[in-house]
């Protein structure tokens, strides 16, 4: 499988390392408007074609998959170019700036018969996956309550300065992952209520969000995110989970400790992710999930199965993001049918 990657920035380095780890995959081309970033990324490979313009990359072709790792404002144009040139697509989150764009992007790729996966990797973190698997095995019976929580004081702006500049911040950038984990655990939501706050005066958007979801399955979840929380030890970038079922409880606590309680019996397991050769703490959790989701994409292409976070599926996570902002703005509960 020959891959071209567009956007050789902060996060793409993880994607490139992960592609190098995966069998039967070759990164044949890189593209970035910034020649310096292109040079740093190309140093990872013995041989790779380099472009500063995506249209030229597509015109020259020679790849089966495009991996779009740019920030969101370029996603629609790049996905549409990919559809025009009939290649499979992986696109970073947030998939699109608006739901309207996202629907058009899904439709554009659908007409080509190619596969479109959104790089929504948090549900693929191995610790989160361990909880998903336990829940799906039925060990705690039928779930009725969940909490998906991400609270941190980590300076995320040093690696990603653009996050301080947008009108929207935590729901669009991080909450999107946490809402997606809630969907992976409990399925789609029918209603959402949200509040937002900005605590850090140096940024433009909200850095705290608290959301209440009612899922079609009958589960109620609290999904809460904060980058204004001082805690020791710092848990970035862990998502902490708590699920109550009619037969027991599953928790994923700080330090990647998963506990399952059935009656009075509690079993605890260390589900800490490995630190891959090219990874570093505390990012190793996310870095491992990048390799897992990219392997998932390769496996899906080989077997003809649709990726779990295919474009069509991601529309529902994006709808939750939009509904959360609408709820916070208007101070009311939003039925998802409204979007
Ligand atoms: P970045 O700004 O560091 O890198 C983006 C790169 O894309 C830049 O080098 C820029 O020059 C290039 N670029 C932008 N538009 C282009 C175009 N049209 N053609 C060619 N090059 C173009 O951003 P980043 O922090 O790496 O984030 C990239 C994306 O990854 C964002 O959507 C972000 O939300 C996402 N992200 C995801 C995770 C995750 O865990 N899934 C983590 C971090 C970032
Ligand atoms: O997903 C993201 O884009 C990142 C991070 C994981 C740090 O929130 O901003």
Domain spanning 123-280+310-338: which CATH class is it, in words?
Answer: alpha beta
**CA distance readout (Å), 324 to 65, 113, 172:** 33, 32, 10
| Average pLDDT of adjacent 10-residue blocks, the chain of 339 residues | 98 98 98 98 98 98 98 98 98 98 98 98 98 97 98 98 98 98 98 98 98 98 98 96 98 98 97 98 98 98 98 98 98 98
Residue from 96, 123, 122 nearest 107 by CA:
96
Total-model pTM: 0.98
Q: Which residue has the tokens 């973190």?
A: 125
Ligand 1 geometric centre to CA of 268 (Å):
38
Is the beta carbon of 159 within 6 A of some atom in ligand 2?
Answer: no
Which residues form ligand 1's pocket by a CB distance below 6 Å? 6-12, 31-34, 37, 54, 69-72, 74, 92-93, 119, 121, 160, 162, 173, 286
**Structural domain boundaries in the chain:** 2-114, 123-280+310-338
Give tens-digit pLDDT for 250-276. Answer: 999 999 999 999 999 999 999 999 999
Total residue length of the chain: 339
Ligand 1 geometric centre to CA of 129 (Å):
25
Cis peptide, bond prior to residue 282, ω within 30 of zero: yes
Is the beta carbon of 173 within 6 A of some atom in ligand 2?
Answer: yes
Is the beta carbon of 156 within 6 A of some atom in ligand 2?
Answer: yes
pLDDT at 99: 98
* Residue with CA nearest ligand 1 atom 9: 9
Range 2-114 has CATH code 3.40.50.1820: no
* Residue with CA nearest ligand 2 atom 6: 174
* Residue with CA nearest ligand 1 atom 38: 11
Ligand 1 geometric centre to CA of 57 (Å):
17
266-277 in b/e form (b: 16+ CB < 10 A) is eeeeebebeebe
Is the beta carbon of 69 within 6 A of some atom in ligand 2?
Answer: no
- For residue 156, which atom of ligand 2 is closest to its CA? 7
């Amino acid at each position: 499988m020959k891959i071209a990657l567009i956007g050789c920035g902060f996060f793409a380095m993880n994607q490139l390392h992960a592609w190098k780890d995966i069998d039967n995959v070759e990164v044949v081309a890189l593209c970035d408007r910034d020649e310096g970033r292109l040079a740093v990324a190309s140093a990872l490979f013995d041989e790779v074609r380099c472009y500063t313009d995506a249209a030229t990359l597509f015109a020259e072709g020679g790849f089966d998959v495009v991996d779009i790792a740019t920030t969101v404002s370029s996603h629609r144009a790049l996905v549409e170019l990919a559809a025009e040139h009939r290649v499979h697509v992986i696109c970073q989150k947030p998939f699109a700036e608006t739901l309207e764009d996202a629907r058009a992007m899904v439709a554009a790729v659908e007409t080509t018969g190619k596969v479109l996966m959104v790089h929504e990797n948090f549900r693929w973190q191995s610790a989160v996956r361990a909880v998903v698997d336990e829940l799906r095995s039925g060990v705690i019976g039928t779930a009725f309550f969940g909490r998906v929580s991400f609270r941190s004081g980590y300076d995320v702006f040093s690696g990603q300065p653009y996050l301080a500049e947008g009108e929207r911040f935590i729901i669009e950038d991080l909450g999107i992952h946490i809402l997606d984990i809630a969907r992976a655990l409990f399925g789609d939501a029918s209603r959402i209520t949200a509040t937002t706050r900005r605590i850090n005066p140096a940024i433009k958007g909200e850095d705290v969000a608290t959301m209440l979801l009612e899922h079609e399955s009958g589960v109620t979840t609290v999904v809460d995110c904060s980058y204004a929380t001082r805690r020791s030890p710092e848990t970035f970038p862990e998502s902490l989970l708590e699920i109550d079922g009619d037969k027991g409880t599953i928790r994923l606590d700080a330090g990647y400790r998963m506990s399952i309680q059935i009656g009075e019996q509690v079993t605890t397991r260390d589900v800490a992710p490995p630190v891959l050769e090219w990874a570093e703490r505390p990012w190793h959790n996310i870095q491992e999930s990048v390799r897992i989701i990219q392997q998932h994409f390769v496996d899906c292409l080989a077997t003809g199965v649709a990726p779990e976070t295919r474009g069509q599926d991601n529309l529902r996570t994006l709808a939750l993001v939009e509904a959360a902002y609408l709820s916070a703005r208007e101070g009311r509960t939003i039925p998802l049918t409204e979007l």
